[in-house]
Structure 1
Amino acid sequence: MAPSGGGGGGGVAPPARVDLNADLGEGFGRWSLTDDDALLDVVTSANVACGFHAGDPETVLAVCGSAARRGVAVGAHPSYRDLVGFGRRYVDASRTELVADVLYQLGALAGLARAAGTRVSYVKPHGALYTTAAGAGVHGEAVVEAVRRFDPELPLVALAGSPLLDLARAAGLRTVAEAFADRGYTATGALVDRRSPGALVTDPSEVAARVVRLVTEGVVRSVDGADVPVRAESVCVHGDSPGAVAVARAVRSALEAAGVQVRAASS
């Protein structure tokens, strides 16, 4: 896989291929959040919870096995230590603490993936850690250090155009620039806060049209109506969003109808 070109249009032609990923394994005990098997029939990469925001060992092992049988790439989806808040709350951890927390999660998933006949192919932070690390501050540095120490060959998935991509590349990591199928964008290319209007797009046909335009034209329509340049190699459909399976199916069908090759970015 070639290194990411980062975010922004810059006159560079969008890729003729794209990865389609979803956050999976996010149940816990008797509580089930998503239809993991149905989504695994559609996506090419699975961001699997590692236990700190969701995902008990039995659930994670089952998802890894299902992904292995379908040939779907498994990625680690580490989080802040925030099970109650589903990893969506900022945690003021020190750099050394966060490095250890991320390493712990990567190791846990790697063991379960191996037992299921697959392996961890990339790393994508979850929730508040994803957003905070994108700014490439201390927590971004901690994520990069953890990935580099665990396996410097693993690609790091991060928000297209974010400083974290530059930080990761400077540390010698491969990167994958990511966009979101069902999240609203601001005029600056940032994601709309989940608590604000327009944060989620739930209509399958609308999401599919947005993604096709993003991949083929390199732009996404912001919540205020502006076209924002976004260069992405992977597109995420949130597994916990309303109608996630229908949205994922609509996106994949629309991409294939547009002649876009859908395959894992880590392959």
Structure 2
Amino acid sequence: MQKDQLFTRRRMLLAGAAALGSAGTAGLVLAGGGEETARPVVAPAAAGPPARRALAPSTFRLQPLTGYGPPRTPPRRLKVREEPILQISGSGRRMVLTFDDGPNPAYTPHILDTLARYRVRAMFFVCGECVVENRELLARMADEGHVVGNHTWTHPLLTTLRRKEIRSEMERTSDVIEDTYGERPQWFRAPYGAWNRAAFQLGADMGMEPMAWTVDTTDWMEPGTDTIIDQVEEGAAPGVVVLSHDAGGDRSQTVRALREWLPHLIDSGYHLTVPSRRV
């Protein structure tokens, strides 16, 4: 009797192992080629691992794997500023170009094309709700060396919001920037340039410096291409931060004006760059 029981138990174990092995082989074949019938594949013993096709530099940004990779780096605590940064070091006739409210597929690519033509890096203060629809544009900004800053999720007037609402607007945007651009933003700009104490404190808690501007192109009013050009060329000076927009309305004037005033500033000896963290 015991012999029969042992024989039966052994037969059940062997049958279970065979079933597991068959399921595993089928899974591998389906994952590799999508076939319905499992077929053994015999490779030469001396063959090495199959060569992998190189991925594009932005692939990991376009398709982030949630739950993988190192944990988010906690932001370094910053001094809580009472006023935003208005200018940078003007040594070497340096200026900073900034663009707000994007990214936008109708205008941002043209701006990036012009910046690439003249090998200029800029800052883009993006809105989270625009990022989720245009992740490939943030990946391009990262690939081309531009700095991406936080401009809230929905572009609200922060001075009318409660503290937890401001935190949500800023934190969600930093999260989507990190997932798409590859790192958390180090700069923040309040919509409409309207800061309050909570915005300064929360920005510092999230490791961001507040950045304002010194020259407004007034492109948000759509005043005409010539007016935008005049605003930049007349306001140009070492240390200046220029405000433009790549979304939030018809920005075709901004696109045309940039093609005119950017080479003019370069020919005039200005070096268009992005600021370092220490200011």
TM over 0.5: no
Report the TM-score range of the alignment, normalised by the length of the smaller protein.
Answer: 0.3 to 0.5
Q: What's the TM-score, normalizing by structure 1? A: 0.37
Higher helix proportion (structure 1 or 2): 2
Higher-Rg structure is 2
**When the two structures are superposed, what TM-score results if normalisation uses the length of structure 2?**
0.35
